[in-house]
Amino acid sequence: MPEPIRVSLSTSSVYPGSTASGFEAAARLGYDGVEVMVGIDDVSADITAIKALSAFHDMPVVSVHAPCLLVTQRVWGSDPWGKLDRSAEMAQEVGASLVVVHPPFRWQREYARTFVDGIADLEAQHGVTFAVENMYPWRTGKREFHAYAPGWDPVEQDYSHVTLDLSHSSTAGSDPLAMARELGDRLAHVHIADGTGSAKDEHLVPGRGSQPCAEFLEAVAESDFGGEIVVEINTRKAKDQAEREADLVEALEFTRRHISA
């Protein structure tokens, strides 16, 4: 029988808690592993510290999320290719096989111009999978701005590996089931969350929005998917630690229930 699909926790799911608290929560609540979101928390960018947290909590690091957000533009320097090299280095050092990366911002013109070929070159150079994540148009009222280049939808690009995020598909108005079918074996990684179609990237607990999270997970489980499923939800509005942990447990149980259906 094939190995069961693991369900891991993104350290971003405990924000504004620390990277260390993400490892602790993942271990205590029964997750299978951790995705490290490299961000403004200094520990998240410290390879030695991440290895120590992984060993202490007996929590494997299944993936590394490169610092691609606006708030992380200075993490590991300002060169975007340098950030991806460092992400691959972290992945190799901590035993992860995959790096999640966003497409470039449109104003990163030189980076965007060579991005598709550059990602393929990085995979060959480092022996690490770089899975480009689906994003969404930025919307304000009736105005829409395409902030990513060569585009926010990786299905349309020639990437070998893609991360599919269901909160992002909600914001984009995309159908994640159709995206997964079109991607086929290019679907390498999943961020499970939910959304209501809002212009805001909501990252709700799966099952609380309008995305077909249950059907998506069941379809992935029935396919030849060999990647990781990572819970990436927003718990910033939780009134206390107990409510935050209840959300994390609900997301884990929902995901496990539907990949085992």
Q: 163-189, pLDDT tens digit by residue?
A: 999 999 999 999 999 999 999 999 999
Residue 256 contacts by C-beta under 8 Å, 6 or more apart in sequence?
7
- Mean pLDDT in residue range 149-162: 97
The Cβ-side half-sphere exposure at 149, using a 13 Å CA radius, reads: 10
Report residue 140's pLDDT band, with 50, 70 and 90 as the boundaries. confident
CA-nearest of 234, 154, 238, 151 to 192 is 234
Q: What is the pLDDT of residue 1?
A: 55
Phi then psi for residue 26, to 5 deg, are -60, -45
How does pLDDT run across 205-234, given as a tens digit for each residue?
A: 999 999 999 999 999 999 999 999 999 999
Phi then psi for residue 50, to 5 deg, are -65, -40
Q: What is the pLDDT of residue 70?
A: 87
- Mean pLDDT in residue range 77-86: 96
pLDDT at 46 over 70: yes
Q: Calculate Rg over the CA atoms of the chain.
A: 17
Model confidence, pTM: 0.97
- Mean pLDDT in residue range 47-59: 98
Q: Residue 130 has which token pair?
A: 């770089």
CA dihedral 228, 166, 260, 14 (to 10 degrees): 70
Query: Are 177 and 212 in contact, with CB atoms under 8 Å apart?
Result: yes
CA-nearest of 163, 155, 135 to 62 is 163
Characterize 12-36 residue by residue with b for buried, 16 or more Cβ atoms within 10 angstroms of its Cβ, and e for exposed. Answer: bbbbebebbbbbbbbbeeebbbbbb
Q: What is the pLDDT of residue 143?
A: 86
Collapsed DSSP state (helix, strand, coil) of residue 236? coil
CA–CA separation, 204 vs 219, rounded Å?
Answer: 20
Q: What is the pLDDT of residue 2?
A: 67
CA-nearest of 83, 79, 81, 51 to 67 is 83
Mean pLDDT of the chain: 96
Q: Residue 139 has which token pair?
A: 């919307």
Give 221's DSSP letter. Answer: H
CA distances from 210 to 129, 138, 224 (A): 30, 19, 26
Structural domains for the chain:
7-259 (3.20.20.150)
Kindly state the percentage of the chain with pLDDT values over 90: 92
